[in-house]
């Protein structure tokens, strides 16, 4: 009986742990494949709120966030990307994606 309670307590303590989410990647021009610097991105439903971040000078982004939840909780992160003269894009990335490639399409200016 003692083993049963020990196993139950261990399971409950592990199932309610916070987890660190890390996502990184690069934003490129969908047409040319070249990296896009200073693309604004926002983490949707972040604990910190809707704080805009920018990709670096070679289009790379990286962030860490602590998420609370139980084992089996979604490890997906929703991001909104935008840059002048490009279409806004929302992507869903998995926690642990370290080489995500986000391709932004140019806005149609042929009006």
- Domains in the chain, start-ordered, CATH in brackets? 15-104 (2.60.40.1120)
- Is a pLDDT exceeding 70 seen at residue 111? no
Report pLDDT digits (tens) over 58-102: 999 998 876 655 555 557 888 999 999 999 999 998 877 778 999
Are 92 and 44 in contact by the 8 Å Cβ rule? The answer is no
- Report the alpha-carbon angle 21-26-31, nearest 5: 145
Q: What is the model's pLDDT at position 3?
A: 74
Q: What is the model's pLDDT at position 45?
A: 75
Report pLDDT digits (tens) over 8-53: 555 555 555 566 778 899 999 999 999 999 999 998 877 777 889 9
Q: How many Å from the N-terminal Cα to the C-terminal Cα in the chain?
A: 75
Q: What is the model's pLDDT at position 71?
A: 55
- Is a pLDDT exceeding 80 seen at residue 57? yes
- Residues forming a β-bridge with 29: 104
Q: What is the model's pLDDT at position 11?
A: 58
**In terms of Cα–Cα distance, which of 94, 62, 92 is closest to 75?**
94
**Alpha-carbon distance 28 to 44, whole Å?**
21
């Amino acid at each position: 009986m003692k083993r049963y309670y020990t196993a139950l307590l261990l399971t409950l303590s592990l199932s309610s742990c916070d987890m660190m989410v890390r996502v990184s990647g690069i934003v490129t021009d969908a047409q040319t494949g070249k990296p896009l610097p200073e693309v604004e991105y926002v983490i949707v439903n972040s604990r910190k709120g809707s704080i805009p971040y920018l990709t670096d000078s070679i289009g790379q982004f990286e962030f860490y966030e602590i998420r609370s939840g139980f084992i089996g909780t979604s490890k997906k992160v929703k991001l909104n990307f935008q840059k002048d003269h490009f279409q806004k894009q929302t992507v869903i990335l998995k926690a642990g994606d370290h080489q995500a490639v986000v391709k932004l399409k140019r806005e149609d200016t042929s009006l």
